[in-house]
Chain A
Amino acid sequence: MDYRITVAKKMLLSKKGSLLGAVLAIGVGILVISIITVIFLGLQNAIIRDLKIYQFGDLMVTDETGLIDKSDQLIIGWFESNSRVIGATPRLTSSTDIEIRKDGELIELFGVPIIGVDPLRDPTVSELHKTVAEGEFVNSRNSIVVGSVVAEDLGGIQVGETLKLIITNRVDEEQTEFFVVNGISKTPGGTGLDSNLIMPIDTLRDLIDRPEETGNFIVKLTDPDYSQEIKELFLLSFSNDDFEVKTTQEAGRDIIRNFSSALGMFTLIGYVGLMSSAFAIITIQMMLISSKTRDIGILRSIGTRRKDVLIIFIIQGLIIGLIGASVGTAFGLAFTTYAKVTNMSFAGSLELEVEYDFASTFSTALTAFTLAVFASIYPAYKATKLQPLEAMRGV
């Protein structure tokens, strides 16, 4: 083995405290970045996951005009003739006013979004029905599921109670209808339709006087990887219409963009933290060089060149970087595994959708390693400036 590696390694190992400090400085820096990445990407993926299973499906078909006037059978039939489609279901959205009265006197009036679903088809395509925490999903014309946020606004309305809704139809006529609360919908983190009312789509169509219209169709595929292919096929088949089809990723683009920017910002903070680790390495190596001044003098006196001294201390930076990056990556992967296995969530909010991001892990480790090596350059340069005689007398 090259003597410079032997000397670098042995000098470093003789100062185990310094080595541990430097390794931890790098390792903890990587761990912090890993935690930030796991949490933000996990949150983003979890929100996309929930939006997909509750609202977007693998594909969501809308119309540029806002409403689709083709029959359900035509659209659903088209999709369900494809072997890669599990199912498709219509949805229609509107809004309603809810009055809160006490002794006949109006206390509060507020608007609530309302969504119409096909009680039979919807459970095959989405998991909205699974968000019903109390009671059951809509199953009859005048049954309604109340989102937990709305239920709270209504003073804690219970399953079985009656709810009076006032809905304005397309010709500005107010339609009043009584519904029995069939269930309360609640999702972790509120990613479902907790702020909505859910009722059968035919009931909603009647109330707003849009008997043949649909807001959107959501489609579930056997494999989301086919979403682009089926989207293109659909648009080709209905090329004379004004349909728009979005994949989950396209539908969640704004969310992804917002999370990406937040993730970028926090990762930057993590990297600044890693920079401070680099300063810690500089300090630790300067202390190491100070304590090894005599040894540097001895090495110089027996023929070690300045550039060899430089190399010895840069090798130490390489060793610190290698061990630090390995330890940090191991910590980071351990945390990622923990978060993945435990479906980590905070205070009962939505469970993170954690994926291993090996490219990001590798780039963080590489950055940390590079920083450690760069951090060792200045102390190494200072070590080369020591004159052998002065260095040997320095003790």
Chain B
Amino acid sequence: MSKVLEIKNLYKEFGEGDTKVEALKDVSIEIKKGEFILIVGSSGSGKSTLLNMIGLLDRPTRGQLVIDGIETSDLDDNQVSLFRNKKLGFIFQFSNLLSDLSILENTMLPRKIAKKTENLVSEAKELLKIMGLEEQLDKLPTKISGGQLQRAAIARGLINNPSIVLADEPTGNLDSETAKTIVQLMKTMAKKFDQTFIVVTHDRDQFGEVDRIITISDGRAFEADNTEMEVMVK
């Protein structure tokens, strides 16, 4: 399997002088295409910071971040936007759909930004059907439930066939039953589309068996197999 993500000696510092905080310290990770990765860690450990770096929503202080063979630190703001659009899909804790667009319009948005509109409506509808949202296409995000919102967010994250889907606490705002459904959907999608998923969560148990688990602790990344991780979390 080819590498989709390569992080080398990544550092992220906030503040200066006495107030300087090292959120990430010498993080090095490699992720292959199609892997379902969990990033776990306690609150404030730096896991969301790492995800923001991978999503190019924030810039590292130093280190290398290579996605699909492209060194991202050389990209300017315009290129970063285009890169985010083409290579990355996002699922946020609060779904973050545009409140004024319908579920279908929200889903289609990344492809419209990319100007890849051929068969877009039918593909978006198909994706939303898989997500069980075929009855909600024209509804506004304020008119559907939290679980449905997250399913729509997953559809939006997948519509552009990105290299990596990044999910930041995607079940953090859901009840346990809905959370299970969302996790199952993400896993199904990962398998169906051979899609790389990197999921930040504080609740590792919800995800069951995954390809790899990366633990962030005090800004450093550790990797362990599932068994070790379970022991560690307990």
Interface residues, chain A, CB within 8 Å of chain B? 2-3, 6-7, 10-11, 13-14, 294-295, 297-308, 388-389, 392
The number of A-B residue pairs with CB atoms under 8 Å apart is 65
- B81 / chain A contacts, CB cutoff of 8 Å: 300, 303-306
**Considering the chains assembled together, what is the distance between the CA atoms of A388 and B105 in angstroms?**
20
Residue of A295, A299, A306, A389 near B57 (CB, 8 A) is A389
Task: Tell me whether B114 is interfacial, beta carbon within 8 Å.
Answer: yes
If over half of A's interface residues share one DSSP class (helix, strand or loop), that class is named, otherwise mixed; here it is helix
Closest to A384 in B: B77
Q: Please determine whether B85 and A302 come into contact, CB atoms closer than 8 angstroms.
A: yes
- B109 / chain A contacts, CB cutoff of 8 Å: 3, 302
**Considering the chains assembled together, what is the distance between the CA atoms of A299 and B110 in angstroms?**
9
Give the size of the chain B interface in residues (CB under 8 angstroms).
26
Q: Please determine whether A6 and B105 come into contact, CB atoms closer than 8 angstroms.
A: yes
**Considering the chains assembled together, what is the distance between the CA atoms of A300 and B109 in angstroms?**
12
Q: Please determine whether B100 and A11 come into contact, CB atoms closer than 8 angstroms.
A: yes
- A301 / chain B contacts, CB cutoff of 8 Å: 55, 57, 84, 90, 96
Q: Please determine whether B85 and A303 come into contact, CB atoms closer than 8 angstroms.
A: yes
What are the interface flags for B152-170 relative to A under an 8 Å C-beta threshold, 1 for contact and 0 otherwise? 0000100000000000000
Within 8 A of A (CB), among B43-81: 52, 55, 57-58, 77-78, 81
Closest to A303 in B: B85
Q: Please determine whether A306 and B78 come into contact, CB atoms closer than 8 angstroms.
A: yes
A213 to chain B, nearest CB (A): 82
A251 to chain B, nearest CB (A): 62
Most chain A beta-carbon contacts within 10 A, residue among B78, B92, B98, B113: B98
Residue of B78, B82, B98, B99 near A299 (CB, 8 A) is B98
Task: Jot down 7 A-B pairs with beta carbons below 8 A, ordered by A.
Answer: A3-B113, A6-B101, A301-B57, A303-B84, A304-B113, A388-B57, A389-B57
Q: Which 6 A-B pairs have the closest CB atoms?
A: A303-B85, A3-B112, A10-B100, A305-B81, A14-B100, A303-B113
**Considering the chains assembled together, what is the distance between the CA atoms of A13 and B55 in angstroms?**
31
**Considering the chains assembled together, what is the distance between the CA atoms of A305 and B114 in angstroms?**
11
